[in-house]
Chain A
Amino acid sequence: MSERIYLLPLWIRIWHWANALLIITLTVTGVSLHFADPQLPLVEFSLAARIHDIAGIVLVALYVFFVIANIVTGNWWQYVPKPPGVMERCVKQARWYAYGIFRGEPHPYRVSEEANFNAMQAIAYWVMMYVVMPVMLITGLIFLIPELAPDRLFGFDGLLPVAILHYLTGAVIIMFMIAHIYLGTTGKTATSMFKTMFTGWYEQH
């Protein structure tokens, strides 16, 4: 019988799956809008625009909830890579992904209730949640209220830098999502981490 620990409280799991659902919705509609073309039959443009607006506003609300809940529960501490030896642990982790995982070496980091994430995870999640997401959400809100954008910039509409930042951060989130889903298969079994995200119980390697 392998060791199990209760790792993820209900609010984190609900937030995670709501976040996932919204980001997938925003990805599909965002691609439909940005790459709008009669030859590319994705979601109909006006429908995509409406869904993207609504899902975007819900995501902002969910993000605010996430930040507040993190502060209230102290969960924010999980995202802070704990010194000393952060770099060494990152290198060790990267080496495992690049080499050790193929050879069936054990996971270099042991998950505990005190520290859910390995050093690389903590840094990646911190950057995603506290740098990329705010830029994405703020630029999205400016899109909803374009009067907030500068009128003109470098001879172009002032909304252009907002649009480019929104587009690039969106692309980073999509790339993160692909890697994140894939890394979810690197648990004890290919599905054990997905189970953890539903049940909250984590199976040690």
Chain B
Amino acid sequence: MKRHDIYTLPILIWLSLFFTIPLSITVIMSFMSSTPYGGVTLPFTVGNYVEIMKGRILAILWRTIRISALSTLITLGLSLPVSFFMATSKWKNLLLMATIIPFWTNFIIRIFAWIFLLGNNGMLNNILIQLGIVKNPITFLYNSWAVVVVIVYTYLPYMILPIYSAMEKFDFSMIDAAMDLGATKIRAIFKVMFPSIKGGITAGILFVFIPALGSYAIPELVGGRDSVMLGNLIAWEITTARNWPYATALSNILFVSTALALFLYLKIQGSDGK
């Protein structure tokens, strides 16, 4: 230990106690078995993982990845033009604040807004019924599309902010320069601007994709039978079934999927940068 380590000692202790040790406990517990009364017991076993690989869990894992990837793609598609417009706009500070306000509005309230709009007793159904267009409410929610829309809605600022932040540092006269040298506008954007905002795009994709993988509240509130995600399963195992070893095994699967996604992404990102 060096004398100056005193500065980092508190964080070292805190994060060891409340991050590294809990993660280790989670890994260890996933190799144990549950007792009928909600406890855990030895000996060590891989039974939980075998159980997961056998059943319908793989389908849920695959669906979780699909829903997250689709939401991330849509979010990216919306964020690129919006960030571009914001970064080149006269009112960029105003637009920036306009994106931050929903970001700082409570997460659960933002989900509630969609239940209010599209729910069976929601606003849209009320209007449709009053106009006589339909007799009975249409079920807009409680399917995987609703889950995708609400994920896009709640995580959009997480994608816009890093991309905007990268674009804002970009010198837009470079695009004009490239065009003066004969590049088309599309080509100029791809070849000149894209490389310098790539970091922002990577950050945005990770900020949306990873929390989406761990979604619980959104599929719980606006999803249905066809949109149960890994997070719902984990929560169910913990709160209702009280099978901790099984729940931690599921968590570890989510952890490995996240690490894999991160690794693959950084690999792709690294290779086309050369």
- Genuine A/B complex: no
